[in-house]
Each structure stands twice: as structure tokens, then as C-alpha cells.
Amino acid sequence: MNRELVLHHLAEAQEALTRMLEEARANASWDIGELTAEMPHLYHHINTAWNARESPNPIGQASDTEFLGWSAFPTDLPMFE
């Protein structure tokens, strides 16, 4: 497992989620528009943590194809079986 890459993206996801929660709690007008804008960023980091876990690449050194593939929802993660 590429521990450094996984931990980097999990930390980025944590920061994004923390920021979303703080903004939503502080702003009564925070609504679906903000949620829609923020969720892709959050999913990118969570999905990349999983999809790139076996990548030999250092952080920040993915091809465009890898970057897009890593951001996709995992197809090999068992969900609620």
C-alpha cells in the first residue's frame, strides 16, 4: 500500500469535511448549492485514497488518466454485502 498517498488523501478529505461542517453550521443559508459544490472534492479524496492505494507514484505525480480514474467511485470495494 502507498501509505503516504493514502494518508495524504484521507487528510485532505478530513479537512474538506471539517470545513463543510463548519460552514454549514455557521451559515443558515448553507444549502444544496454548497453541498453540490463541495461533495465532488470530498469524494475525489476519499476515492483516490482507495483507488490509488497500490500506486507506486509519489503524491502529486499522477497522469491525467490516473487522476481521473482514481477519482471515480471504487468498483472493487464491497458495499453493504
pLDDT in tens, the chain (81 residues): 999 999 999 999 999 999 999 999 999 999 999 999 999 999 999 999 999 999 998 888 888 898 899 999 998 988 766
- Asked if residue 76 is part of any domain, the answer here is no
Q: CA geometry: angle at 8 spanning 5 and 2, to 5°?
A: 20
For residues 52 and 6, the answer to whether their CB atoms sit within 8 Å is yes
Which positions ≥6 away from 17 have C-beta within 8 Å? 42
CA angle 22, 49, 58 (to 5 degrees): 115
Residue 14, domain extent: 3-71
In this structure, are residues 75 and 51 in contact, taking their beta carbons and an 8 Å threshold?
no
Give pLDDT, residue 59: 85
pTM: 0.87
Hey, what long-range contacts does 22-25 have (CB within 8 A, 24 or more apart)? none
Establish if 81 belongs to a structural domain.
Answer: no
Is 40 a member of any domain? yes
Residue 79 lies in a domain: no
